[in-house]
Amino acid sequence: MAEDRALVDRFLDMLAAEAGASRNTLLAYRNDLTAAAATLPSLGQADAKQIGQLGPAWSELSPSTVARRSAALRRFYGFLHEEGLRRDDPSSSLPRPATERPLPRILAPHEVDAMFAAVEDLASSGRPLALRNHALLELLYGSGLRATELVSLPRGALRTGQPFLILRGKGAKERLVPISDRAFAAVEKWLPHVPAKSAYLFPGGKAHLSRVRLFQLVREMAALAGIAPDRVSPHVLRHAFATHLLAGGADLRVLQALLGHADIATTQIYTHVDTGRLVELVNARHPLATRSASS
């Protein structure tokens, strides 16, 4: 239907403009939405009951395909609801197949060290953009911030003598985020270069630095350290923050709070990344570790 095509086009325009989605990503969304539309009387007007029939209709598809199509529809209907194009969001009726979560991509500690060495070397010149990039890297890896959380930080988010900040993250949930002395120092060097009229710590364009630009900057920092840029992103640094903390002995519940995960099952993915460290921890800390096998 022409109306459905218009809604899909509007949705894809939003993904391209606000999320910086690539051409391939947009094509994948269009294909998944078109496939769903072929099963529904109307993609834009489908009710919860009609959406619920997609499960049986997709029964012969692989779990990963069903999960991908459901994710595309979930985001599509969320967009329609937020834009006031429909009163409800029927996506709760979408099938939720059980799929294995892929292990997060991370960097080794020595690779993160190499990135910091390269960025700090440039920042020592005192050039404003080099100081900005250093502050971005310190907050990304040192505090595990999401990309959106980082770029939208208010100018006065960090306060002297307060080693943390309170963020409103995913799902409008607040969490406490620790700020290291290193991050404070990097931000203090960058602050004098932030325009007085800017409401954001990292201004860009008419508002704040975009997520797409942050992604590009992080890849540039990786290249400076001799790391393949396609291995690194803001989210990879967030994964590295979590994995390296866990390897250092951090409690999983504490890590959950720091990352802002609503469900600890999301945090548990990091336990699969460093299994050697976890075995070592059990052997060293468990009460039975000091008892001999013959006891």
Of 30, 63, 93, the position where a domain reaches its end is: 93
Give me the pLDDT at residue 59, please: 85
Residues 130 and 81 reside in one and the same domain: no
Kindly report the number of other CB atoms within 10 A of residue 12's CB atom: 19
Whether 101 is covered by a domain: the verdict is no
- Report yes or no on 31 lying in a domain: yes
What is the CATH number for 64? 1.10.150.130
What residue type is assigned to position 250 of the chain? Answer: A
* Same domain membership, residue 228 and residue 134: yes
Bigger pLDDT: 107 vs 253: 107
Whether 139 is in a domain gets the answer: yes
- The pLDDT score that the predictor gives to residue 213 is 92
C-alpha 65: how far from its chain's center? 22
Flag whether pLDDT at 120 surpasses 90: yes
Q: 89 and 27: one domain?
A: yes
Q: Give yes or no for residue 258 having a pLDDT over 80.
A: no
Which segment of 42-46, 167-171, 224-228, 229-233 scores lowest on mean pLDDT?
167-171
Q: Which of these three, 39, 63, 93, is where a domain ends?
A: 93
Chosen domain end from 35, 60, 93: 93
CA separation for the pair 87, 82 (Å, rounded): 9
Per-residue pLDDT at 174: 67
Same domain, 35 and 161: no
Q: Find the domain containing 236 and state its range.
A: 114-280
Output the pTM of the full model: 0.56
The catalytic residues are 146, 170, 235, 238, 261, 270
Task: Indicate if 89 and 134 belong to the same structural domain.
Answer: no
pLDDT surpasses 90 at 219: yes
Exposed (0-12), middle (13-18) or buried (19+): which is 74, by Cβ within 10 Å? middle
> Tell me, what CATH number does 121's domain have?
1.10.443.10
Q: End-to-end CA distance of the chain, in Å?
A: 75
Residue 295 falls within a domain, yes or no? no
* Claim to verify: residue 156 and residue 72 sit in the same structural domain: no
Residues 181 and 226 in one domain: yes
Question: What is residue 195's three-state secondary structure?
Answer: coil
Q: Are residues 87 and 123 in the same domain?
A: no
List beta partners, residue 178.
164
* Residue 157 CB coordination number (10 Å): 19
Instruction: Tell me, yes or no, whether 56 and 151 share the same domain.
Output: no
Residue 117 — very low, low, confident or very high, per pLDDT cuts 50/70/90? very high
Q: Is 68 part of a structural domain of the chain?
A: yes
Nearest CA-CA partner of 149 in 238, 222, 269: 238
Q: d(Cα 139, Cα 136) in Å, to the nearest integer?
A: 5
Give me the helices (H) in the chain, please. 2-18, 23-37, 48-52, 54-57, 63-82, 109-123, 128-143, 147-151, 181-190, 211-224, 234-247, 252-259, 264-267, 275-285
| pLDDT classification of 295: cutoffs 50, 70, 90 | very low
Residue 248 burial by Cβ neighbours in a 10 Å radius (0-12, 13-18, 19+): exposed
Same-domain status, 74 and 172: no
Q: What is the mean pLDDT of residues 54-62?
A: 87
- Residue 278 confidence (pLDDT): 47
213 in the same domain as 176: yes
